[in-house]
Structure 1
């Protein structure tokens, strides 16, 4: 819980967002309920930091109830709206709190450096090594996915190109019908030979 709190504080209270965060989140609370694993977390936003608790005596300003798989899809505000419309998550209370929180968590305008967040706990060298390891794994997986997509698209295009057109199919059907007619003629001749 402490590590999650540190990461949330580092992202939400970074320099670019301090002013808007103070205005929109300060003094508010967000209750997150994940049904699958029966977990609830309360985010209480202060002026300079957020605190995360397992239990909260008061009523949260905003409550987000969802599943773990749906929660992992909440990477931007547009996805949140889509999931809300599809009724894959439920929000009660002040909707603006979750909107501002998700927009603040958007990592589009900042470069995420895992080593920076790990270095206070494990040291700079180990944190950099872990960061490089995960970055290289991510690049490798991304390259493999792109390669598979390219191979699949090329295969589909090639199959589509090799599949016969309507003219070829009609010609093939005509040839088959002619062969069947010839076979019927031969069959009739053989039958006449057997009778005589």
Structure 2
């Protein structure tokens, strides 16, 4: 079996199994019934084709027909793709390119990236309610801890770049610059007013002399 077909088969199986656990998947697939979407990670430069029906999603390495939407994106943009508010920023930063209806891209991202799965309920049938609750609680705590650490690291990096390396202005410098710009705008407006008044007086003086 060619490697492409093997990868597509594994990905298709994983997606459809997760779809069975998602309480909203049936409705989301119904909205995209008959839609074909191509997705290409820029780092791999090889598209995969997702053929969506009411029952399941087919993943193909090749597709001879016309796609309804072609999505090119960086791997780093995957975690942000389901957030509709981030799409504009991703496009502006060139981490995401969409050919076709961007609403289809949004709905497709919601279908795959925003699954509503009750993991605690699924685990409870395997290990019991108490242990399932403890496991999900600890996983949630770990995720929150990692998120806080990530924010802390990002803040420290920003401070290091602005304060130590001086590669970017600090908050106070930005505020001071904005104040200077506002003051300059006021002075320009005042100067424009004075020039207008002077021109009016010159015109009036010229008319009076005539």
- Number of residue pairs aligned between Structure 1 and Structure 2: 143
The question of 1:71 aligning with 2:78 is answered yes
8 Å contact 1:43–1:53 — kept in the other structure?
yes
The structure with the larger Rg is 1
TM-score, reference length from structure 1: 0.54
Name the structure 1 match of 2:44: 37
Over 3 Å counting, the alpha-carbon distance change for 1:138 and 1:36 in structure 2 is farther
Moved more, 60-69 or 139-148: 139-148
1:21-79 CA distance string (max 9 Å, x none): 42x30011111101213443211111222112222222221110011111222131111
8 Å contact 2:41–2:72 — kept in the other structure?
yes
Gaps of 5+ in 1: 157-196
| Cα distance in structure 2, aligned partners of 1:100 and 1:10 | 18
The question of 1:113 aligning with 2:115 is answered no
The question of 1:124 aligning with 2:130 is answered no
State the 1:94 CA deviation. 2.8
CA RMSD of aligned residues (A): 4.0
8 Å contact 2:19–2:25 — kept in the other structure?
no
Over 3 Å counting, the alpha-carbon distance change for 1:36 and 1:114 in structure 2 is farther
Please list, as runs of the form range in 1=range in 2, the aligned pairs for 1:10-49 lying within 5 A after superposition. 10-11=21-22, 14=23, 16=24, 18-19=26-27, 21-22=29-30, 24-49=31-56
- Give the counterpart of 2:96 among 85, 89, 94: 89
Over 3 Å counting, the alpha-carbon distance change for 1:77 and 1:105 in structure 2 is farther
Name the structure 2 match of 1:177: none
8 Å contact 1:35–1:67 — kept in the other structure?
yes
State the 1:17 CA deviation. 5.5
Gaps of 5+ in 2: 1-10, 160-210
TM-score, reference length from structure 2: 0.51
